[in-house]
Amino acid sequence: MENPKTNELLGRLLGPAAPEVGCDICFEELDRYVDLEAAGQDADAAVPGLRAHFEGCPACREEHESLLALVREDTGAAD
């Protein structure tokens, strides 16, 4: 039986297998990515490498979640 905690640890140790951007480019592109997501467009196609980076970087992932939630609140589309 697979242990979820072991799986999580392996994920954190090995990181995303897909090509990813670094934290600096993530910050530069985050607003564009979030606006595309909020508009229902294909953000991953427009800004490749960000989704994989969110998998590998908890800090950038948190900031992405917050910006998306804030923008959605602005547009009345909050969860």
Partner 1 sequence: MSPTAATVSGALRASPVATGSSVLDPESQELLRALKSSGRAYDDACARLHALLLRAARFEVARRRRGLTGFEADALATDALLAVLRRIDDFRGLSKFTTWAYKFALYEAAVKVRKHAWRDRELPLETDVLGSLHAGSPGPEEDVEMHERLGQIAEGMNDVLTPHQRRVLVALAVNGVPIDVLAERLSTTRGALYKTLHDARAKLRAHLEETS
Binding site for partner 1 (CB under 8 A): 1-3, 6-7, 9-10, 12-15, 17, 19-25, 27, 29-32, 34-36, 45-50, 56-59, 62-63, 66-67, 69-71, 73-74
* 21-40 residues labelled b (16+ CB within 10 A) or e (exposed): beeeebeebbeebbebbbee
The nearest distance, CB 76 to partner 1, in angstroms, is 14
Nearest to 39 by CA among 71, 79, 67: 71
The nearest distance, CB 79 to partner 1, in angstroms, is 12
